[in-house]
Structure formats: C-alpha cells, structure tokens
C-alpha cells in the first residue's frame, strides 16, 4: 500500500512500537498489523515479540536487545528490527 519508509534503522537510537500497530499473540510468535498502511507482518519468535513490546522502555535498540535477547544473537535481532522499521511497525522516539 504505502511506499516503504525511507527511515533507516540506527540501533544506537531509541525506538518503539508504532501506536498505529496492534499485536496479536500466536503460537509461532505474533501478528503485527499497522492500521495506517494496512501491512500485516509476522513476528516469527516469542523472543522477537517480547523485544518489540519492550523496545520503548530502553534508551536504545542496542540496550533493549542486550536486556531481552540471549548473548550472541545481537546482529540477527538488529536485522529483524531493521525490517520492522522498513514496514513502519517500529518508529523512532
């Protein structure tokens, strides 16, 4: 629908779930729906869902990943969050 956001993801900056997004828990993780751009996105692990839900509590995405995700998986989750920024599920604070 809407064109991709031109916003790039900086993991050292603060991010949060967009207020336009609803999350619904599912066995595989969660569905995220953006009511504005009508995008439906699949969050494919429970860990990613928790990270996304709690992102707004931390001073940066890096710190959030450090607090919520097991060590050694940092880069993988930076990439996952980056995709969620592209689809506007996350937004900068």
User: Is the distance from CB of 59 to CB of 14 less than 8 angstroms?
Assistant: yes
Residues 45, 77: contact at Cβ < 8 Å? no
- Asked whether position 19 contacts other proteins by CB under 8 A, the answer is no
Phi (first) and psi of residue 60, to 5 degrees: -155, 165
Residue with tokens 């996304």: 52
Q: Which of residues 24-83 bind other proteins (CB under 8 A)?
A: 24-28, 31, 33, 35, 38-40, 42, 44
Is 1 one of the binding residues for other proteins (CB under 8 A)? yes
Number of residues located near other proteins, criterion CB under 8 A: 15
**Least distance between other proteins and beta carbon 25 (Å):** 7
């Amino acid at each position: 629908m809407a064109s991709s956001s031109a916003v790039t993801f900086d993991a050292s900056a603060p991010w949060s779930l967009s207020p336009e997004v609803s999350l619904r828990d599912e066995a595989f993780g969660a569905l995220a729906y953006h009511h504005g751009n009508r995008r439906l996105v699949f969050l494919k692990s429970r860990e990613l869902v928790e990270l996304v839900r709690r992102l707004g509590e931390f001073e940066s995405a890096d710190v959030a990943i450090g607090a919520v995700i097991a060590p050694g998986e940092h880069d993988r989750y930076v990439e996952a969050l980056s995709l969620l920024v592209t689809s506007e599920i996350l937004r900068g604070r």
